[in-house]
């Protein structure tokens, strides 16, 4: 009897298939891990170079910046930069120590870059931020719009009266060395105080008197 030869390919065992797939997965994982290590090494090197650059040259005088865009500040004729400078850090304490010289450098650099809007509050550094801004503005011809805030320093959470709001406003005027605040804002005061509405009447009176 004649036996027919089978042309079918021999079947690989499931165990062999699994082993090959695991080897292939391990190979690609090794490639991915090596690439990741190279990328992380590159990023570390970039940060190290940036750190050295910052330590040796803090000045931005060599950097070219686009011209600052401006727009009219609401209900005023003031042409305000679209980017302002937050000045909480000038108060020190919460953000680490900031010397007077460093604070003035920050303010001057901002003005040089076209910023003419500073945001501060009486509670930043217990008034230090406002004081530094006031001293800086006396030393520069630049016209800067200063937005400050009241409501946290000495009167939070339950000492809101016409007298305390007036006193807080007058203290900001003194520290900023100005006769009228460009803008004052209620700084996270309790919702119930705002709901009662008297605080807004007190602010309107101060505005009518030319203090705001």
Neighbours of 165 (CB within 10 A): 23
Task: Quick: pLDDT tens for 92-144.
Answer: 988 899 999 999 999 999 999 999 999 999 999 999 999 999 999 999 999 99
| Predicted local distance difference test score (pLDDT) of residue 93 | 86
| Predicted local distance difference test score (pLDDT) of residue 71 | 95
| Predicted local distance difference test score (pLDDT) of residue 35 | 66
Active-site annotation holds for 160: no
Catalytic one of 117, 124, 136, 160:
124
| Predicted local distance difference test score (pLDDT) of residue 29 | 67
Q: What six digits make up the tokens of 211? A: 């203090």
Judge if pTM exceeds 0.85. no
Least confident of 25-29, 123-127, 163-167: 25-29
Distance separating the N- and C-terminal Cα atoms of the chain? 115
Task: Quick: pLDDT tens for 48-87.
Answer: 555 444 444 556 666 777 889 999 999 999 999 999 999 9
Q: What six digits make up the tokens of 171? A: 């203290």
The answer to whether 205 touches 170, Cβ cutoff 8 Å, is: no
């Amino acid at each position: 009897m004649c036996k027919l030869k089978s042309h079918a390919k021999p079947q690989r065992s499931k165990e062999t298939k699994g082993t090959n797939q695991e080897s292939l997965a391990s190979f690609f994982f090794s490639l991915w891990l090596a690439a990741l290590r190279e990328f992380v090494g590159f990023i570390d090197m970039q940060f190290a170079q940036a750190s050295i650059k910052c330590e040796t040259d803090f000045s931005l005088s060599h950097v070219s910046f686009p011209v600052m865009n401006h727009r009219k500040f609401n209900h005023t004729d003031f042409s305000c930069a679209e980017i302002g400078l937050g000045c909480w850090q000038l108060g020190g304490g919460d953000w680490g120590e900031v010397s007077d010289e460093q604070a003035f450098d920050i303010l001057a650099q901002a003005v040089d870059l076209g910023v003419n809007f500073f945001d501060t509050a009486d509670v930043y550094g217990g008034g230090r931020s406002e004081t530094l801004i006031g001293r800086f503005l006396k030393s520069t011809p630049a016209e800067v719009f200063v937005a400050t805030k009241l409501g946290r320093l000495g009167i939070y959470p339950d000492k809101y009266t016409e007298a305390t709001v007036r006193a807080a406003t007058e203290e900001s005027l003194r520290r900023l060395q100005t006769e009228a605040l460009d803008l004052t804002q209620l700084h996270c005061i309790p919702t119930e105080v705002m709901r009662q509405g008297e605080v807004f009447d007190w602010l309107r009176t101060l505005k009518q008197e030319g203090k705001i």
